């Protein structure tokens, strides 16, 4: 991945604050899982038919969706503005099951398993274009939420083609830690993989904060985990992957990626922590 971007994301020591190391109660964040849950439990029933089909969202249903997100946001001290109504409606009406979403392609090199469970995988991700945004809000969770909402606008027609680009997996977050891996930087980078048919000529965002980045071919060590992504859980997963890898000095030691996946059919959230191998 873009190692230069990794180094720039929160590399200053004064950005890595004790208050965000998990010592304070952590807040949740508005994610695709929240949207999926609403689709599955309420929205698809109201529309009728299969939730894998694309449906037109009525004005009343669209306002209900926005109110739902705003209710979640208020609980996490995050403002979901009125102009998010259209992106939320678009994403909801166009979102099918996870199996229908394009995934950033990679080649599996090795898989380490124990008792039938994946301990870690070594993968090679080919050069690809990602839409990225750097956020530096008061908390990690707020940075992720605000960054994701900005990317949603880009995905949902606020681009030079004026079209819905389609949801892809995973949504990645580049995070930085201090040398002891006990604190996260306040600054994070959120990335969206451009669908394959937009890779060569990506539509440009209207938001000047979103940039198109070409990430080089990269060797990634990934480890799956479930549940919400908080400062505490991320630091725990970073330590967990470091413990099972044989030569940690071969990997970037303070830049990590959290990859988020969602599925309407899944009983739990699917995430991964990625380590990047040094060139």
State the pTM of this model: 0.75
Average pLDDT score, the chain: 77
User: How many domains does the chain divide into?
Assistant: 1
pLDDT of residue 93: 64
Rounded alpha-carbon distances, angstroms, from residue 129 to 1, 161, 203, 214:
10, 17, 11, 4
Q: In whole angstroms, give the CA distance from residue 125 to residue 2.
A: 12
Give the tokens for residue 116: 């039938």
Q: Is residue 45 part of a domain?
A: no
Choose the weakest-confidence range: 52-66, 156-170, 236-250. 52-66
DSSP state at residue 210? -
pLDDT of residue 1: 57
Residues 6+ apart with CB under 8 A from 25: none
Please give the residue range of the domain that contains residue 178: 3-26+97-277
Query: Band of the pLDDT at 251, cuts 50, 70, 90?
Result: confident
Q: In whole angstroms, give the CA distance from residue 189 to residue 257.
A: 9
Pick 172 or 1 by higher pLDDT. Answer: 172
pLDDT of residue 30: 46
Q: Is residue 221 part of a domain?
A: yes
DSSP state at residue 205? B
Across the chain, where does the E strand assignment appear? 102-103, 106-114, 117-125, 128-135, 168-169, 171-176, 188-193, 211-215, 218-226, 251-261, 270-277
2 with 215: CB under 8 angstroms? yes
Choose the weakest-confidence range: 9-13, 51-55, 89-93, 117-121. 9-13
Q: Is residue 151 part of a domain?
A: yes
Q: Is residue 154 part of a domain?
A: yes
Q: Is residue 68 part of a domain?
A: no
pLDDT over 80 at 8, yes or no:
no
pLDDT of residue 175: 96
In CATH, what number is assigned to the domain containing residue 204?
3.20.80.10
pLDDT of residue 188: 95
Give the tokens for residue 260: 């988020």
Q: Is the dihedral of CA 176, 193, 96, 145 positive or negative?
A: positive
Share of the chain above pLDDT 70, in %: 64
Q: Is residue 110 part of a domain?
A: yes
Pick 251 or 91 by higher pLDDT. Answer: 251
The 3-state DSSP class for residue 40 equals: helix
Q: Is residue 106 part of a domain?
A: yes
pLDDT over 80 at 34, yes or no:
no
Helical spans, DSSP H, in the chain? 3-8, 32-38, 44-47, 59-75, 85-94, 140-155, 231-244
pLDDT over 90 at 196, yes or no:
yes
102 with 196: CB under 8 angstroms? yes
pLDDT of residue 53: 44
Q: Is residue 41 part of a domain?
A: no
Q: What is the mean pLDDT of residues 2-22?
A: 42
């Amino acid at each position: 991945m873009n190692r230069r971007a990794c180094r720039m994301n929160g590399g200053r020591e004064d950005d890595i604050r004790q208050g965000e190391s998990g010592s304070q109660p952590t807040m949740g964040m508005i994610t695709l899982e929240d949207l999926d849950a609403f689709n599955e439990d309420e929205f698809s029933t109201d529309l009728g038919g299969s939730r894998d089909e694309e449906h037109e969202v009525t004005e009343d249903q669209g306002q209900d969706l926005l109110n739902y997100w705003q209710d979640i946001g208020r609980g996490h001290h995050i403002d979901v503005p009125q102009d998010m109504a259209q992106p939320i409606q678009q994403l909801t009406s166009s979102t099918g099951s996870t199996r229908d979403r394009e995934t950033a392609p990679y080649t599996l090199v090795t898989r380490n398993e124990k008792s039938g469970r994946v301990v870690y995988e070594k993968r090679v991700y080919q050069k690809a274009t990602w839409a990225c945004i750097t956020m530096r809000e008061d908390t990690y969770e707020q940075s992720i939420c605000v960054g994701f909402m900005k990317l949603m606008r880009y995905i949902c027609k606020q681009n030079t083609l004026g079209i819905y680009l389609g949801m892809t997996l995973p949504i990645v977050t580049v995070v930085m830690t201090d040398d002891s891996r006990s604190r996260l930087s306040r600054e994070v980078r959120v990335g969206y993989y451009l669908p394959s048919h937009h890779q060569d000529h990506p539509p440009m965002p209207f938001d000047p904060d979103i940039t198109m980045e070409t990430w080089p071919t990269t060797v990634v060590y990934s480890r799956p985990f479930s549940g919400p992504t908080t400062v505490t859980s991320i630091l725990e997963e970073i330590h967990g992957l470091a413990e099972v890898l044989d030569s940690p000095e071969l990997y970037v030691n303070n830049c990590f990626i959290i990859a988020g996946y969602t599925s309407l059919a899944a009983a739990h959230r699917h995430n991964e922590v990625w380590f990047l191998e040094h060139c």
